[in-house]
Chains A and B, each alone.
Chain A
Amino acid sequence: MPVRAITDTYVFPSSSRQELYGDDQLVHVLWRGNMTLCAAACFRAPKAMTWSAFLTEMVEPWAGSDPDYVPGSARDWVLDGRPFTPEPDRTLAELGVGHKSLIEFWV
């Protein structure tokens, strides 16, 4: 349903669109089955970042906010609703991670 507006044309760009982040994009990561961390994290990550760098530089320091997190224990990855096997040396873009993608894992 369109916005009912006083003008005939009501068109504005998204304030969170990918181009505002240059070569980077936003990526959401959710630790399933964990109630300590209250929500998924949002990261700004280069599209060209490798999975292993993403994991050790971004995901694990965040997951480690919960002292029960054991580095390397994340498993059963899901990308945008589909099971997914991350390959450490491939980039986020190559793995199909897009702007505001949701990555889920269990431990």
Chain B
Amino acid sequence: MAKKLPLKQRYAALTRDVHWEPSYVDPEKVFPYTSFEGIKIHDWSKWEDPFRLTVDAYHKYQAEKDKRLYAVLDGFAQSQGHLTLSDARYLNAMKLFIQGVTPLEYAAHRHFAFLARYLNGAGPRFAALCQSIDELRHTQTEIHTLSIYNKYYPGFHNWNRMHDRVWYLSVPKSFFDDAISAGPFEFLIAISFSFEYLLTNLLFVPFMSGASFNGDLPSMTFGFSAQSDESRHMTLGLEAIKFLLEQDEGNVPIIQDWIDKWFWRGYRVAALVAAMTDYMLPKKFMSWKEAFELYFEEQMLGGLFPDLAFYGIKPPRHVEHAIGEKDILSHQVYWVLYQFSFAASFTTTVPEPYELDWLSSQYPDTFDRFYRPLWDKARKIQENGGRFFFKGLPQLCQTCQIPMAFTEPGDPTTICQRHTVYNGERFDFCSDGCQWVFEREPEKYVQAWMPVHQIYQGNCGGPSVPEVLAWYGIQEGDNGEYLGSVEHTNWQRWHATAPVGS
């Protein structure tokens, strides 16, 4: 066998050298999507791929990652590992994950395949191709990993159908649909930069550490395995933004506008993660607030944005609202999930006393004052044989599609209400950020498939809750209160009959 070339030459030979310029077809026809957004690219060869990954190395290391993951899955399944989780209610977080995140991995797979065909330059095309394959791998490994739990616990079936139909899943779905229906450069800023580089750490890192802490080795392993690809994706995002900013000064305001939009869109989706991090992990590891300070404020606002200032890029618009919400976000969102879990494919319950105390310690300025009284009230209702649910459908934000539970900046007790009249119709928003996003492109967001509005139009199986749940694919036992649920009673039974010491 011939001696291996040094890494740089090998990368050039296997990536750049397989590119050719079209000679008998107009390049505009070969790459029809890279001009309408107003972005100007003068020299695609200036794109740098710092990982310099080649096809052979890619296959080799991805195969090794899968081998490691499947060894963990096999061991976990053989040893009845699900019985060693911290608690059955932990799995509600993973239900949200497979319903809300896994379908996004698949959507990303599809769209990066599109970019791998339609970007003009060989470097970014190859990076997009690798990412497309990565995302398919993530989809498959997540489905495979979580199928272990589907045998024993409700809520893990039908996740794909639910993603298309269920109210809270329209939050991540509409976010990604928004990105996919934009042009290729906006998609790169939306997903590769704003989501993967700026925000994805908040989803995967503390959350997967939390999985590890709660005995869920399979999820931790797929999470970190996926995240190791994510570091390449982050590089694609950072490279994309630097490349676009360096290519033409006219690109700078367009990019800034996209960063402003996509930071806020991504941040609102991350609200679900805030609730998972603080409330859905029975063993606590890191609060949303601490993760936000470490992975977003310190690393991104403190590290990345001073770097981008060189190009004239400022921190995202409305970022101060996000910082201002770090003490309240998770509490508001979990309170929504708690009162609507009759219509969800997961269960919720009042946090245990030790959890309330942990939340007090993590949120000394807000928890005891605003949120502990709500949980005390919910517990009292439960002790009297009831269960607090919101008996009706909520007003939704036209942009993020989350029930309008967010509050005025600086005032955690006043629900924020914003609206815009467009073409004679009123549209409602949860925040200045979502209103601003809508007003940039009202023609786009008036088309939003708003779950509550669709139910009322009769498009979701029928007018009653049972009819809508049936249309969602939610079955008896998937939803509602955790205490006394199928998973709770099974869990108690399995542990009551386990031999001492197991």
Binding site for B on A (CB under 8 A): 1-6, 10-18, 20-21, 26, 28, 30, 32-33, 35-44, 61-62, 64-67, 98-102
Contacts and interface: CB of A to CB of B under 8 A. Distances in A.
Contacts of A4: 36-38, 183
Interface in B403-424: 403-405, 413-415, 417, 419, 423
10 contacts: A3-B444, A4-B36, A13-B446, A32-B414, A38-B339, A39-B390, A42-B453, A43-B392, A61-B392, A100-B425
Contacts of A16: 425, 446, 448, 450, 453
Contact of A100 (B388, B428, B449): B428
Given A28-B428, A41-B392, A102-B428, A15 B449 contact: yes
B447 interface: yes
Contact of B395 (A12, A28, A35, A65): A28
B32 to A, nearest CB: 8
B446 A21 contact: no
A100 B454 CA distance: 14
Contacts of A61: 391-392
Contacts of A11: 443
Chain B interface, >50% SS class: mixed
Nearest to B406: A39
Nearest 8 CB-CB pairings of A with B: A14-B446, A40-B395, A62-B392, A44-B456, A38-B405, A65-B391, A39-B394, A39-B403
A41 B394 contact: yes
A65 B485 CA distance: 21
B429 to A, nearest CB: 12
A17 B425 contact: yes
Among A11, A35, A67, the one with the most B-chain Cβ atoms within 10 Å of its Cβ is A35
Contact of B457 (A21, A28, A42, A62): A21
Interface string B11-50: 0000000000000000000001100111000000000000
B133 interface: no
A30 B406 CA distance: 13
B441 interface: yes
B395 A38 contact: no
A53 to B, nearest CB: 16
Among A15, A38, A100, the one with the most B-chain Cβ atoms within 10 Å of its Cβ is A38
A99 B426 contact: yes
A1 B441 contact: yes
Nearest to B443: A3
A99 B447 contact: no
B370 interface: yes
Contacts of B332: 38
Among A11, A30, A42, A101, the one with the most B-chain Cβ atoms within 10 Å of its Cβ is A42
Contacts of A30: 395, 415, 417
A12 B405 contact: no
A96 B83 CA distance: 59
Contact of A38 (B394, B414, B449): B394
Given A15-B449, A15-B450, A38-B336, A65 B183 contact: no
B465 to A, nearest CB: 13
Nearest to B391: A65
Contact of B426 (A15, A41, A101): A101
A32 B457 CA distance: 28
A106 to B, nearest CB: 12
B425 A15 contact: no
Nearest to B453: A16
Contacts of A14: 423, 425, 446-447
